[in-house]
Structure 1
Amino acid sequence: MKLQERSYSGKIMRPKPLIHVEEDGSLIVVVTTWGQSEHGERALNEVVKYVSAAKADVEVTSPFEFLTCISDEANYVRTALMIANDALYRGENRKEYASGVEVLALFKRGSQVAWAQVGAPSIFVQRQNQRLQPLSIATDLASELRDQAELPPLPAQLLGMDPTCNIQTGHTHVSDGDKLVLFAGTSVATTLWGLQSYETDLNMLTQAMIQEEPELPFWLGMIAV
């Protein structure tokens, strides 16, 4: 997997995510920190460490059970997020809240891409000669409160704030030429929904989204799988 990404902030700011891309392209982790940056780095490192050990068939132990209803790869990234949640909650937030993070982990093995996430970004798939389809949608509470004025982003789900966390997970089949589109923002621009399978110029797409909603910050990623 190869990732291209862009961030946009105008008068309203949105934290720029930390990104890890494995050298072989098998793992991509996107972490947005709401608080102290080192806490996001800690969560990212926990995820990368566990998935790297699991995919290498290293004997790893976990206090969390595997779910039989999802693939092994989806279990790996789900378990990694649970470990990161436990580390951040126990290490930083048990007595008082210091930081929360949004995390997405994508793991590709063969023709399958598995994901696990808490919060943004949303995941869309664009298969060859098809329109954009949502795989997993992350909500922003600012969209619920938005009336006339534009509001700063307000994450609905954060990792590390509680002993448990709400993890969205799944997997999908991909073929050569397919793309994954990642989006973090208050509302999905119509420009994105209208994306054609041959459109791969991230700069042009970013500029079109800015023209449509110039006040709203967002982060956009495009992955060639």
Structure 2
Amino acid sequence: MKLQERSYSSKMVRPKPMIHVEEDGSLIVIVTSWGQPEHGERALNEVVKYVSAAKADVEVTSPFEFLTCISDEANYVRTALMIANDALYRGENRKEYASGVEILALFKRGSQVAWAQVGAPSIFMQRQNQSLQPLSVASDLASEMRDSMNLPPLPAQLLGLDPTCNIQTGHTHVNEGDKLMLFAGTAVAPSVWGLQSYEIDLNMITNAMVQQEPELPFWLGLIAI
């Protein structure tokens, strides 16, 4: 997997995410820290350490149960997020909130991409000769409270604030030439849904977003499979 990314800010600002991409492209981790940046780095490192050991067939132990209803790869990234949540909660937020993070881990093995996430970014699939389809959508509280005025971004789900966390996880089959669009922001511009597969690039999507809502900040990622 190869990632291109871009941040857009106006008078309002969305924190820029930290990104880890494995050299072989098999693992991508995207962390947005709402608080201290080093806490986001800690969560990222926990995820990379666990998934790297799991994919290398190193015997790893975990206090968390594997789910039989999802693939092994999806279990790996889900367990990694649970470990990161536990580390951040116990280490930083047990007595009072210091930081929370939004996090997405994508793990590709063979023709499968598995993901686990808490909060943004949302994941959309662009298969060849098909329209854009949502795989996993993250909500933004600013969109829920938005009326006649635009509000700064406000995450609805954060990792590390509670002993448990709501992890969205899944997996999908992919082919060479497919693309994943990642979006963290208040709303996707309607014109983006009409873009053809050959039009899905950072410039086209960014222009569509800015023309629709120039005041709203966002982060955009595009992954070539």
TM bin, normalised by shorter chain, reads over 0.9
Give the aligned partner of residue 117 of structure 1: 117
Amino acid at match of 2:128: Q
Q: Deviations over 1:9-57 (max 9, x none)?
A: 1011100000000000000000000000000000000000000000000
Matched position secondary structure for 1:198: helix
The runs of at least 4 aligned residues of structure 1 exceeding 3 Å deviation read: none
TM-score (norm. length: structure 2): 0.99
Q: Percent identity?
A: 86
Matched position secondary structure for 2:162: coil
**Mapped partners of 1:102, 1:108: distance in 2:** 20
**Mapped partners of 2:203, 2:128: distance in 1:** 21
Aligned-residue Cα RMSD (Å) equals 0.7
Give the aligned partner of residue 136 of structure 1: 136
In terms of mean alpha carbon deviation, does 188-197 or 20-29 score higher?
A: 188-197
- Work out the number of aligned pairs and report it: 225
In terms of mean alpha carbon deviation, does 139-148 or 201-210 score higher?
A: 201-210
**Mapped partners of 1:123, 1:191: distance in 2:** 17
| Equivalent residues in 2 for 1:1-225, closer than 5 Å | 1-225=1-225
**Mapped partners of 1:97, 1:70: distance in 2:** 32
**Mapped partners of 1:161, 1:191: distance in 2:** 36
Give, in angstroms, the shift of residue 194 of structure 1.
Answer: 1.8
Asked if the contact 2:85–2:164 (Cα under 8 Å) also holds between the matched residues in 1, the reply is yes
Amino acid at match of 1:110: G
**Mapped partners of 1:200, 1:142: distance in 2:** 26
Structure 1: tracts of 5 or more residues without a match = none
**Mapped partners of 1:192, 1:22: distance in 2:** 29
**Mapped partners of 2:212, 2:144: distance in 1:** 20
TM-score (norm. length: structure 1): 0.99
Structure 2: tracts of 5 or more residues without a match = none
**Mapped partners of 1:161, 1:168: distance in 2:** 16
